[in-house]
């Protein structure tokens, strides 16, 4: 069975999250994306405590596409060192897994 992941990052604005959602989905790296926010954040950065608001962006993909999705998110994210994490789904309906797999499958060029 295909391993499905929820891959998460955070963005400083809703618009930044939507840009990542659109680019990853259009590239076939995610079957779908959900956003929630703003959420309150507390963090340690550059030797100082910080607080702020962020948008959590969750991408649905397969383990086979994770490396490409991670690289895409890091390349297109406006932060230099964005959090990109993945959690495997312990269970999911067969039809959901099939959808994620189908949508994120690499397309093979038709040469003829």
Q: What is the pLDDT of residues 14-48, one digit of tens each?
A: 999 999 999 999 999 999 999 999 999 999 989 99
Domain boundaries, the chain: 4-103
Contact 10, 53 (CB under 8 A): no
Asked if pLDDT for residue 6 goes beyond 80, the answer is yes
Mean pLDDT of 49-72: 97
Question: Looking at the domain that runs over 4-103, which CATH code has it been given?
Answer: 3.30.70.120
Percent of the chain with pLDDT over 90: 90
Summarised one tens digit per residue, pLDDT across range 66-85 is 999 999 999 999 999 999 99
Nearest to 65 by CA among 22, 18, 28: 28
Percent of the chain with pLDDT over 70: 95
Q: Model confidence at 95, in pLDDT bands (50, 70, 90)?
A: very high
83 phi and psi angles, rounded to 5 deg = -70, 130
Residue 46 to residue 48: CA distance in whole angstroms: 6
Which pTM was predicted? 0.91
Between 39 and 2, name the one with better pLDDT. Answer: 39
Q: What is the crossing angle of helices 14-26 and 66-76, to 10°? A: 140
């Amino acid at each position: 069975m295909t391993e499905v992941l929820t891959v998460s990052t955070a963005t400083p604005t809703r618009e930044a999250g939507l840009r990542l959602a659109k680019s990853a989905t259009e590239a076939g790296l995610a079957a779908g994306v959900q956003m929630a926010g703003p959420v309150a954040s507390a963090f340690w950065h550059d030797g100082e405590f910080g607080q702020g608001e962020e948008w959590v962006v969750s991408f649905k993909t397969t383990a086979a596409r994770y490396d490409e999705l991670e690289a895409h998110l890091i390349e297109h994210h406006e932060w230099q060192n964005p959090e990109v994490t993945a959690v495997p789904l312990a269970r999911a309906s067969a039809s959901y897994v099939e959808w994620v797999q189908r949508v994120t499958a690499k397309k093979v060029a038709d040469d003829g």
